Chains A and B, each alone.
Chain A
């Protein structure tokens, strides 16, 4: 299977306040109609996403972050070392990457973008004001990153010379 292009995979539940940040950012990326970029979103990550991941050279997971830096973080990901959880009906990005490797022999370059959210527990709430601001910042970053074709770790934790940068 020849892997090419970038898959943007957003997940979360838009009916749970800021949990909808992942699908909202996926929608924003889809609206860009960037060449070579495919966008998917769902409530949760599941095993069939491993097949989609394996078809791409690069995958960018986008999710809401309960903790961490504002307005968002971006970091490289590796396949998880352990198997699936004992009862879960959803997977982590690392578990999905491990499945893609084990099932399809695929090891795409993988990134996780976490948009900082604040209100997760109240049913039916829209995105909070701060979360909308963070979403706009993340969407703005990706718009530029997709235009110039590069992702980089944010916030920067290492000197620029050794910081991972990937061409899209």
Chain B
């Protein structure tokens, strides 16, 4: 087996517009895959950047992390800063405005991923040539889906604009509350579009279901493996994407930890550093680094929750587990189906919120309580559990920040998916075929990795796969441009 200490892993320097997703496959003497390593260009320093800044700036500052999911960071930071100012309960208007912003973000992100990144794989097939297996190919064969994707993404963005105030560096969430309510004209504009959003979400669930069940024989093992699953649940065990307590289950559904307050996350989660990657590997302390790694995101969330409190999504959740052999499911490609169940749930929550007169309330900010010097918040970002942890001194300046993003949580899982896929494709033949490149791409994409976010860098990501033999020599290398 190759000795990692002797491997020379070159990580490309950061550029503004390009991160690099590199996959190194380490082979043994018989050219079987010993290990897969997903390398991601890292730009650390955000936590350091936050240090020394006044705590009230943090919900706006964290949006500089990434242009892909700034809303998730904005809201998670705001929740943490609520704790610093001693606020444990927001006025109903503030709580519901933040939830509306969050579910708008979930809706647009899931729609974008499904219709523009996953649907080419699903609709055109794993083996379709890459020049056709893209959104242009989808437009050619299913133009209505591509148009729905645009309209659904736009709908979610309009919710964000109405709640956060602006697209760039939104200021909606402030310590202890929100800085605006939803006007009646804003509400009515969103309500006008809602029926078709609900209709299209249901059709998207059906599309993901039919695809998964139609291909189940192939998909069941594709990039799949048993794992632990982590997500937030309400006290009654129901799914809650904006708030909740941590629950972890094992590959068979056994509860490992439950109802862990975000502030106690360090009691149950630790992060391992490996010499070949800048990105950390979180794990459950109770199982240790070897066995405690876990998955987050849509399928993991459905695996840990007991129910969903909106009727259409709950029915869809039940149908998913009935079809896949019960809860939890470890089928990696079922992430797409689970993501569409959450899309439908988000549409239902948005409908419920828009019908709530609290959104037009005037009580926007809770009075400050007893000042605290440390606070942790979690929420379920589109790609999985997001944690923000801050310490603040007596001068109101941040002294420590620790952020664990969802793609970091899925780090080990993505490596395992790649290894499983590569092992099925490559053993004995030390070459990178088009099929291997396609399937690695599809396996990573199931997790919808926000690589920019995980690496604190902006940009697109070419895929580069390298085969390395037991002596550390490169046998083959292929790149797919971004």
Contact = CB atoms under 8 A, between A and B. Distances in A.
Interface of A: 13-16, 19, 23, 41-44, 46-48, 50-51, 64, 66, 82-90, 98-99, 102-103, 120-121, 123-124
B458 A16 contact: yes
Contacts of A50: 150
B142 to A, nearest CB: 12
B64 A15 contact: yes
B445 A87 contact: yes
A44 B67 contact: yes
A13 B61 contact: no
Contacts of A84: 116-117, 134-136
B150 A86 contact: no
A84 to B, nearest CB: 5
B280 interface: no
A48 B158 CA distance: 11
26 contacts: A13-B67, A14-B168, A14-B169, A16-B16, A19-B458, A43-B167, A44-B68, A47-B112, A47-B149, A47-B153, A50-B150, A66-B17, A82-B131, A84-B136, A87-B460, A87-B461, A87-B463, A87-B482, A88-B461, A90-B459, A98-B136, A99-B139, A102-B139, A103-B143, A121-B16, A121-B43
B14 interface: yes
B444 interface: yes
Interface string B1-25: 0000000000000111100010000
Interface stretch (B194-202, B349-357, B415-423, B449-457): B449-457
A41 B168 contact: yes
B151 to A, nearest CB: 8
A89 B482 contact: no
A23 B168 contact: yes
Contact of B460 (A48, A66, A82, A90): A90
Contacts of A48: 150, 153-154, 157
Given A43-B168, A87-B461, A124 B16 contact: no
A16 B167 contact: no
Contacts of A102: 136, 139-140, 146
B166 to A, nearest CB: 9
Please give me the 9 A-B residue pairs with the lowest Cβ-Cβ distance, nearest first.
A15-B64, A83-B134, A43-B67, A85-B482, A48-B154, A120-B16, A83-B136, A123-B49, A88-B460
Interface of B: 14-17, 21, 43, 45-46, 49, 61, 63-64, 67-68, 70, 112, 116-117, 120, 130-131, 134-137, 139-140, 143, 146-147, 149-151, 153-154, 157, 167-169, 441, 444-445, 449-452, 456, 458-463, 480-482
Contacts of B459: 90
Nearest to B45: A123
A42 B136 contact: no
B139 A42 contact: no
A23 to B, nearest CB: 6
Contacts of B452: 89
A131 B134 CA distance: 36
B77 to A, nearest CB: 13
A85 B120 CA distance: 12
Contacts of B461: 85, 87-88
A85 B481 contact: yes
Given A19-B458, A48-B153, A66-B16, A83 B45 contact: no
B349 to A, nearest CB: 21
A15 to B, nearest CB: 3
Contacts of B449: 87
Contacts of A90: 67-68, 459-460
A87 B112 CA distance: 12
Contacts of A66: 15-17
A66 to B, nearest CB: 6
Contacts of A123: 45-46, 49, 64, 456
A51 B150 contact: yes
Contacts of B46: 123
B333 to A, nearest CB: 16
Contact of A87 (B14, B117, B139): B117
Nearest to B132: A83
Given A86-B445, A120-B16, A15 B112 contact: no
Contacts of B150: 47-48, 50-51, 103
Contacts of A89: 68, 112, 450, 452
Nearest to B133: A83
Nearest to A44: B67
B446 to A, nearest CB: 11
A40 to B, nearest CB: 8
A66 B458 CA distance: 14
Nearest to B158: A48
Contacts of A14: 64, 168-169
Contact of A42 (B45, B167, B460): B167
Given A51-B150, A103-B150, A83 B137 contact: yes
Nearest to A88: B460
A37 B67 CA distance: 25
B14 A121 contact: yes
A90 B19 CA distance: 12
Given A48-B154, A90-B68, A85 B16 contact: no
Contacts of B481: 85
A134 to B, nearest CB: 16
B444 A87 contact: yes
A89 B456 CA distance: 14
B67 to A, nearest CB: 3
A41 B61 CA distance: 18
